A = this chain, B = another copy of it.
Amino acid sequence: MAFSPLVDELVESLRCLPGVGQKTAQRMAFHLLERGRSGGTRLAAALNHAMDGVRRCDSCQNFSDTEICQICEKPERRNGTLCVVESPSDLLAIEQAGDYKGSYFVLMGHLSPIDGVGPEEIGIERLLDRVRREGVTELILATNPTVEGEATAHYIADRLDGQNILITRLAHGIPVGGELGYVDGFTLTHAFRGRKPLSE
């Protein structure tokens, strides 16, 4: 940048954030220096606290500040229903929807044999242990509706074959408030196949 190595270092470091290129990083750095120094110092502290302090819950693999996370600690959430997601952000989206009251297991992504990511790497063995130990009655496989997510769901279902557990997937269909004209063909096909009587 030719005028301040410290500004250069800040711009370069901001680029570790997803979606932040050179121009955006410059704009962020200048904003913090001109109008947000206290925010910048607070962000530095929050980064240090989180990078050092956030771990994976021993029970569900979600982010947690403690060995067992705040969701797993609540006994009322161990109601026999366990929802499997690919990432903490999926769990967050479900929690923010607010309707689901069971417990979770957060996979470390999805199976990807081509990248050497097998069942052990994403925690499927731990999931299966937990399903057996806790007497889970319904396992909701809420992995993403992608090729890898579907493959991961089928792998888990296969491993639990013959055990008396209801295994479910989330319904596909038209998003609430969505316009038919903007919905892709696969989703429309699923929505037609899953159609229900109006009285329901």
Q: Which residues of A contact B (CB under 8 A)?
A: 1-7, 9-10, 12-14, 16-19, 24, 26-34, 36-37, 39-51, 53-54, 62-65, 69-71, 87-89, 91-92, 95
Contacts and interface: CB of A to CB of B under 8 A. Distances in A.
A9 B49 contact: yes
Contacts of A1: 92, 95
B44 A51 contact: yes
A63 B24 contact: no
SS class, residues of chain A in contact with chain B? helix
A31 to B, nearest CB: 4
B13 A43 contact: yes
How many copies of this chain are found per oligomer? 2
Nearest to A18: B31
Contacts of A71: 2-3
Nearest to A104: B3
A94 to B, nearest CB: 11
B54 A7 contact: yes
Given A2-B70, A6-B65, A36 B50 contact: no
A141 to B, nearest CB: 21
